[in-house]
Amino acid sequence: MKNASAEEVVLEIKDKSELMVDLAYSSLLYNNKTIAEEVYDLENLIDELYEKLQRDTLEAVAKQELPPNSALTIIKLAKAGEEIADAAQEIADVQLRDVELHPIITMSLKESDEVLTRVFIKNESVFCGKTLGELKLGSETGMTIIAMRHQNRWLYGPNKNTRIDPEDILFAKGPEDAEKHLQELAEGKTQEI
């Protein structure tokens, strides 16, 4: 195993685990079991990545390709990501098991430092037919898309090449004062990104 690939796995665990936390809270906020189930699937993926990383890292140490100190850091960082993923799963578990979430909890989540929101893309939205890379939504509006529904297909952690079409539903997170702007863009009430 090359060092670089271990680092890539650590990074993948980091990014996926943080996405999972956002997805888990979104599943609570929007009472959405599909998103909660995705958190479960991602948790399985993270467990596999973590197991493989540990094995590969220790083999690399045995072959003297990796200093023990570096191996320890890699495993420790991956472990922290794996624990964040576990926590995300527990949050999603509340959505999957609870009969009904207390409305005060949902309200309370809405007051978070980073808000989670859901927008429906109307035909007249300036987003239609454009990719996330073209729109630069993150830097232009402050909102990051964490999941989206396109017809019956779900996409989690979409990338720059993901295109937005009419009737898509976007799940996003970002600062409180950016939520309204995203909503207006999605509804076609404003064309200025």
**Binding interface with a copy of itself (CB under 8 A):** 3-4, 7-8, 10-11, 14-15, 18-19, 21, 25, 69-70, 73-74, 76-77, 79-81, 83-84, 86-88, 90-91, 93-94, 98-99, 101-102, 104-105, 107-109, 111-114, 136, 138-142, 144, 157, 174-175, 177-178, 181
DSSP 83-146: HHHHHHHHHHHHHHH-SS--HHHHHHHHTSSEEEEEEE--TT-TTTT-BHHHHTHHHHHS-EEE
CB of 32 to a copy of itself, least distance (A): 16
Q: Report the distance separating Cα 93 and Cα 127, nearest Å.
A: 33
Name 154's bridge partners. 149
* Residue showing tokens 């970002």: 174
CB of 152 to a copy of itself, least distance (A): 26
Judge whether 35 and 147 are in contact, CB under 8 Å: yes
Task: Please say which residue, 31 or 167, places its beta carbon nearer to a copy of itself.
Answer: 31
Task: Please say which residue, 22 or 168, places its beta carbon nearer to a copy of itself.
Answer: 22
Q: Report the distance separating Cα 94 and Cα 63, nearest Å.
A: 44
Task: Please say which residue, 62 or 107, places its beta carbon nearer to a copy of itself.
Answer: 107
Task: Please say which residue, 104 or 192, places its beta carbon nearer to a copy of itself.
Answer: 104
Task: Please say which residue, 74 or 121, places its beta carbon nearer to a copy of itself.
Answer: 74
CB of 172 to a copy of itself, least distance (A): 12
Count CB atoms within 10 A of the CB of residue 95. 22
CB of 118 to a copy of itself, least distance (A): 18
CB of 186 to a copy of itself, least distance (A): 15
Q: Report the distance separating Cα 95 and Cα 61, nearest Å.
A: 42
